[in-house]
Structure 1
């Protein structure tokens, strides 16, 4: 192999790696956005659940047949 061919192969490899890194970066960004949306939804559900009740646990009583 001559040097020109090796350089062409290296440039090609670097270009493919660069594209792969960009694609992975985009995927990570999308996943973080999804995680942020899910965390917000969970916070909203917890807030609604707290607002629906007074926050205290129900009294535990035995059924009348005991």
Structure 2
């Protein structure tokens, strides 16, 4: 995210997730298990309607 501070980036991962709540929750849970396996477009595989949102995940909650 271009307008975020360096400090914020040290505290959070910015994750693009499906907009539908259940799909987003599933994506986040799998992301937490293996974040290095997820690319920016990985969220497309979890979305049934191609709508997305940005989610801030605290780095200490992985």
TM-score, scaled relative to structure 1: 0.25
Q: Which of structures 1 and 2 has the bigger CA Rg?
A: 1
Instruction: Identify the structure with bigger relative contact order (alpha carbons < 8 Å, sequence gap 6+).
Output: 2
Larger helix fraction of residues: 1
Larger strand fraction of residues: 2
TM-score, scaled relative to structure 2: 0.26
